[in-house]
Structure 1
Amino acid sequence: MTDWKTLEDAEDLAYFRAELVDMSPESFSFEEKRQILDDMIASSAAIENALREDFARLDEVTQTRLLDSLGTSGYRDRDWWCHMLMDGPKHRDKPTI
């Protein structure tokens, strides 16, 4: 079972730290900035990977309905969602979104 709370908390923290860097870049070393960027990428990729894993557990009918629903949500079209959730490896090092 996916621990969504932990994934979301990690992503929130990474992006919060990035906002701090944006407000006061001189307060962070290059290495700290690099680590924050790495944390942002890793936490976003972890969420997407978990989405793909959860999607893969659904039956074909439910997957189709979900893709149809996401495609009409207004965020992205159905093809984009299909590519993000189904095409390529389930585990990626970089986020799609």
Structure 2
Amino acid sequence: MNDKMEKLKEAEDLAYFRAELVEMSPESFTLEEKRQILDDMRKSSSDIENAMRENFAKLDEVTQTRLLDSLGQSGYRDRDWWYRMLMDGPKHRDRPTF
């Protein structure tokens, strides 16, 4: 994993960790803090997906096809879902697909 993706993943992990803290003790956070944590979760997940799309777009067509086939067989989602997430629509999105 390259440095950019590692930093994005760390930001996402931190955002989701903070969300878990809110679940455990919601009274410890103001409404504004909760809103910021939610915004951080959305932004960090979107940033990761956007980086995935950028990296995917750099691959040649044969490699893209093979990767889509492999992801479709992984069992997480079907190939059509991965196609829509990685290729269909704008490369940069404000909300996560997941």
TM-score bucket (shorter structure):
over 0.9
| Deviation (angstroms), 1:2 | 6.3
Once the two structures are superposed, what CA deviation does each residue of 1:39-92 show, in whole Å capped at 9, x if it has no partner? 000000000000000000000000000000000000000000000000000000
Give the match for residue 73 of structure 1. Answer: 74
- Relative to the length of structure 1, the TM-score reads 0.98
Query: CA shift at 1:32, angstroms?
Result: 0.1
Give the match for residue 90 of structure 2. Answer: 89
Aligned-partner SS, 2:94: coil
Question: What CA RMSD, in Å, does the superposition of the two structures yield over aligned residues?
Answer: 1.0
- Matched pairs, number: 97
- State the identity as a percent: 76
Distance 1:37 1:4 in 2: 21
With the length of structure 2 as denominator, give the TM-score of the two structures: 0.97
Residue type at the aligned position of 1:40: M
Tell me the residue number matched to 1:52: 53
Task: Flag as ranges the 4+ runs of structure 1 deviating above 2 A.
Answer: none
> What residue ranges of structure 1 are gaps of 5+ in the alignment?
none
Counterpart-to-counterpart distance in 2, 1:69 and 1:6:
26
